[in-house]
Amino acid sequence: MTVIEIAAPGGPEQLRTAVRPVPKPAENEVLVRVEAAGVNRPDVMQRQGRYPPPAGASDLPGMEIAGEIVQLGAKVSGVSVGNKVTALLPGGGYAGYAIVAAPLAMPIPQGLSMVEAAAIPETFLTVWTNLFERGRCKAGDVVLIHGGTSGIGTTAIQLAKAWGASVYATAGSEKKARACEALGAVRGIDYKTEDFVEVIRAATKGYGVDITLDMVAGTYVQRNLDIAAVEGRVVTISLLGGSRAEINVGMILVKRLTLTGSTLRSRTVAQKAAVADAVRENVWPLIESGEVRPVIFKTFPLAEASEAHRLMESSDHIGKIVLTV
């Protein structure tokens, strides 16, 4: 099968086409013929040598795919050869075939193309487990999403809005701020020209935000505390702006704040399956009704994975980048 390998840690040019044997599924796994593979920022970090795959995972990049099951492991039940699925995997998605833990192969929501389906697992499961499970998002909450036009951000804005939250989102240009509003944010904030703390404080008449979903950290951490409402939750999912921060810890006490965060990739199959089940139950109906959709910015053929990574690193995209196989 054709795969995209990381030849050595480095730039996008290190993504190279290669030929490898089709892998064999273990007893609780299925083999999927990949039709589309989502590109995520952690793939870029893996290529740079900053985010190694967990032990036992494929060394190939790619954490979400859509395709058709072509082989079942000996102990797999509940899915069949020929099923079209979208799946979360710890690696190995940039390939003609991929191994998937059976509980993480989900039926494709009705009405979605393979490209749209491939854009769902990593992003929707991450948003669900962080914004809803850890952040306890509910109707009426004021929510702040940093990186509003990222794959994660475009999903989080739509889901929070669908839940009845009032959403603010930051992004790196005026155009992106307006794109956040088109997705359902009450106000997109161009962080290059506006201070999100000041904008939200004025817009909420001093109330602040109940939940912040933060992929930046660094200097944002104190500002997230500044704009948090009493009993607010700050959920960190990445460290794009740096892993160290100096903060006024007193604010946590005075406002009774919760600072939390998580990563998805390192969890066990059972833990991921629990998140996948919750997403299927709570989010699939919203996707099938059209209330929430993955936002596809651009597709590239698998062989042009390096171009896909260049686009992602430019941060010019709004929504998801997907490889077609």
Ligand X SMILES: NC(=O)c1ccc[n+]([C@@H]2O[C@H](COP(=O)([O-])OP(=O)(O)OC[C@H]3O[C@@H](n4cnc5c(N)ncnc54)[C@H](OP(=O)(O)O)[C@@H]3O)[C@@H](O)[C@H]2O)c1
Nearer to ligand X, 149 or 158 (CB): 149
Closest residue (Cβ) to ligand X? 150
The Cα–Cα gap between 104 and 162 comes to 24
* Residues whose CB is less than 8 angstroms from the CB of residue 30 and which lie 6 or more positions away in sequence, other chains included: 69, 71, 72, 73, 76, 79, 85, 99, 100, 102, 105
Q: How far is the CB of 219 from ligand X (least distance, A)?
A: 10
Neighbouring-strand partners of residue 258 = 233
Q: How far is the CB of 157 from ligand X (least distance, A)?
A: 12
Say how many residues make up the chain. Answer: 325
CA 187 from chain centre, in angstroms, equals 22
Nearer to ligand X, 137 or 171 (CB): 171
The Cα–Cα gap between 261 and 207 comes to 23
Nearer to ligand X, 40 or 83 (CB): 40
Dihedral of CA 167/191/41/303: which sign?
positive
Nearer to ligand X, 99 or 264 (CB): 264
Q: How far is the CB of 98 from ligand X (least distance, A)?
A: 18
Three-class DSSP category at 32: strand
Q: How far is the CB of 191 from ligand X (least distance, A)?
A: 7
Nearer to ligand X, 150 or 224 (CB): 150
**Residue listed under structure tokens 């099951």:** 69
The Cα–Cα gap between 188 and 183 comes to 10
Q: How far is the CB of 26 from ligand X (least distance, A)?
A: 24
Relative to beta strand 209-214, strand 228-236 is: parallel
Closest CA to 65 of 100, 28, 102, 24: 100
Dihedral of CA 311/49/152/106: which sign?
positive
Q: How far is the CB of 129 from ligand X (least distance, A)?
A: 8
Nearer to ligand X, 60 or 145 (CB): 145
Q: How far is the CB of 215 from ligand X (least distance, A)?
A: 4
Closest CA to 273 of 128, 68, 118, 154: 128
Which residues form the interface with ligand X (CB under 6 A)?
Answer: 40-42, 122, 126, 147, 149-152, 171-172, 176, 215-216, 237-238, 240-241, 262-264, 312, 315
Nearer to ligand X, 25 or 38 (CB): 38
Intra-chain end-to-end CA distance of the chain, in Å: 11
Nearer to ligand X, 95 or 215 (CB): 215
Q: Which two tokens stand for residue 24?
A: 């064999």
The Cα–Cα gap between 20 and 320 comes to 27
Q: How far is the CB of 298 from ligand X (least distance, A)?
A: 11
